[in-house]
Amino acid sequence: MEEERPAVEAAPEPKKLHIDRFFELELHVARIEEVEKVANADRLLKLQVDLGEEKRQIVAGIALAYEPDALVGKKIIVVTNLKPARIRGVLSEGMLLAADLDGRPIVATFDEDVAPGTRVR
Protein backbone atom coordinates (compact mmCIF):
# COMPACT_ATOMS: atom_id res chain seq x y z
CA MET A 1 0.00 0.00 0.00
CA GLU A 2 1.34 3.40 -0.98
CA GLU A 3 1.83 6.09 1.62
CA GLU A 4 -0.41 9.05 1.22
CA ARG A 5 1.66 12.12 0.39
CA PRO A 6 0.72 15.53 1.68
CA ALA A 7 -0.75 17.81 -0.96
CA VAL A 8 1.79 20.15 -2.51
CA GLU A 9 0.66 23.73 -2.36
CA ALA A 10 0.94 25.63 -5.59
CA ALA A 11 3.02 28.77 -5.48
CA PRO A 12 0.87 31.86 -5.34
CA GLU A 13 0.41 33.52 -8.70
CA PRO A 14 2.54 36.67 -8.96
CA LYS A 15 0.63 39.90 -8.60
CA LYS A 16 0.08 41.59 -11.98
CA LEU A 17 1.18 45.22 -12.06
CA HIS A 18 -0.02 47.93 -14.38
CA ILE A 19 2.70 49.06 -16.80
CA ASP A 20 2.71 52.49 -15.11
CA ARG A 21 4.03 50.85 -11.92
CA PHE A 22 6.94 49.33 -13.86
CA PHE A 23 7.86 52.74 -15.23
CA GLU A 24 8.13 54.06 -11.67
CA LEU A 25 11.39 52.13 -11.41
CA GLU A 26 14.50 54.01 -12.43
CA LEU A 27 16.85 51.44 -13.98
CA HIS A 28 20.27 52.64 -15.12
CA VAL A 29 23.56 51.23 -16.33
CA ALA A 30 26.35 51.40 -13.75
CA ARG A 31 30.03 50.55 -14.12
CA ILE A 32 31.53 48.77 -11.11
CA GLU A 33 34.67 50.61 -10.01
CA GLU A 34 35.57 48.98 -6.68
CA VAL A 35 34.39 45.93 -4.76
CA GLU A 36 35.17 44.71 -1.26
CA LYS A 37 33.71 42.18 1.11
CA VAL A 38 31.52 43.46 3.94
CA ALA A 39 33.08 42.65 7.32
CA ASN A 40 31.37 39.85 9.26
CA ALA A 41 29.01 39.04 6.36
CA ASP A 42 29.76 35.98 4.22
CA ARG A 43 27.29 36.84 1.46
CA LEU A 44 27.67 40.61 1.11
CA LEU A 45 29.85 42.71 -1.16
CA LYS A 46 30.13 46.51 -1.12
CA LEU A 47 30.31 47.95 -4.63
CA GLN A 48 31.31 51.47 -5.65
CA VAL A 49 29.56 52.19 -8.96
CA ASP A 50 29.69 54.95 -11.57
CA LEU A 51 26.25 56.02 -12.81
CA GLY A 52 27.56 58.62 -15.25
CA GLU A 53 26.79 61.86 -13.42
CA GLU A 54 27.14 60.39 -9.94
CA LYS A 55 28.79 57.61 -7.99
CA ARG A 56 27.03 55.42 -5.45
CA GLN A 57 27.65 52.59 -3.05
CA ILE A 58 25.58 49.41 -3.29
CA VAL A 59 25.54 46.39 -0.99
CA ALA A 60 24.65 43.12 -2.71
CA GLY A 61 24.31 39.53 -1.51
CA ILE A 62 26.50 38.04 -4.23
CA ALA A 63 29.76 37.25 -2.41
CA LEU A 64 29.32 33.46 -2.54
CA ALA A 65 29.09 33.59 -6.35
CA TYR A 66 31.64 36.30 -7.25
CA GLU A 67 35.17 37.24 -6.28
CA PRO A 68 35.44 41.01 -5.85
CA ASP A 69 38.13 41.47 -8.54
CA ALA A 70 36.01 39.60 -11.13
CA LEU A 71 33.30 42.29 -10.93
CA VAL A 72 35.46 45.40 -11.41
CA GLY A 73 34.78 46.98 -14.80
CA LYS A 74 31.49 45.15 -15.41
CA LYS A 75 28.46 47.16 -16.43
CA ILE A 76 25.34 46.21 -14.53
CA ILE A 77 21.72 47.33 -14.12
CA VAL A 78 20.91 49.27 -10.95
CA VAL A 79 17.58 50.36 -9.49
CA THR A 80 18.41 53.96 -8.60
CA ASN A 81 15.22 55.31 -7.04
CA LEU A 82 15.08 53.15 -3.93
CA LYS A 83 15.39 54.78 -0.53
CA PRO A 84 18.91 54.28 0.87
CA ALA A 85 19.15 51.44 3.40
CA ARG A 86 21.72 50.23 5.90
CA ILE A 87 22.64 46.58 5.45
CA ARG A 88 24.83 45.23 8.24
CA GLY A 89 25.64 48.85 9.06
CA VAL A 90 26.78 49.67 5.51
CA LEU A 91 24.87 52.23 3.43
CA SER A 92 23.33 50.89 0.21
CA GLU A 93 22.09 53.44 -2.32
CA GLY A 94 20.46 51.16 -4.87
CA MET A 95 20.02 47.54 -5.89
CA LEU A 96 21.62 45.59 -8.70
CA LEU A 97 19.60 43.18 -10.82
CA ALA A 98 20.50 39.50 -10.86
CA ALA A 99 18.88 36.25 -11.87
CA ASP A 100 18.49 33.38 -9.42
CA LEU A 101 19.91 30.16 -10.85
CA ASP A 102 19.22 27.41 -8.32
CA GLY A 103 19.93 29.81 -5.47
CA ARG A 104 23.05 31.29 -7.09
CA PRO A 105 22.89 34.95 -8.17
CA ILE A 106 23.86 35.74 -11.77
CA VAL A 107 24.42 39.47 -12.17
CA ALA A 108 22.74 41.03 -15.24
CA THR A 109 25.40 42.56 -17.52
CA PHE A 110 25.63 43.81 -21.13
CA ASP A 111 27.15 42.25 -24.26
CA GLU A 112 27.81 45.67 -25.81
CA ASP A 113 29.49 48.79 -24.45
CA VAL A 114 26.78 50.95 -22.84
CA ALA A 115 27.65 54.24 -21.14
CA PRO A 116 27.16 54.48 -17.37
CA GLY A 117 23.96 56.34 -16.56
CA THR A 118 22.08 55.09 -19.64
CA ARG A 119 18.41 54.44 -18.80
CA VAL A 120 17.30 50.82 -19.02
CA ARG A 121 13.74 50.22 -20.25
Three-state secondary structure readout of the chain: CCCCCCCCCCCCCCCCCCHHHHCCCCEEEEEEEEEEECCCCCCCEEEEEECCCCEEEEEECCCCCCCHHHHCCCEEEEECCCCCEEECCEEECCEECEEEECCEEEECECCCCCCCCCECC
What pLDDT was estimated at residue 8?
65
The parts of the chain modelled with pLDDT lower than 70 are 1-8
Predicted TM-score of the model (pTM): 0.85
Looking at the domain 23-107, which fold is it? Answer: OB fold (Dihydrolipoamide Acetyltransferase, E2P) (2.40.50)
Separation CA 52–CA 29 (nearest Å):
8
Compute CA distances 50 → 8, 30, 43, 82, 88, whole Å. Answer: 46, 5, 22, 17, 23
Q: Please, are residues 34 and 75 in contact by the beta-carbon 8 Å criterion?
A: no
What pLDDT was estimated at residue 6?
58
Domain boundaries, the chain: 23-107
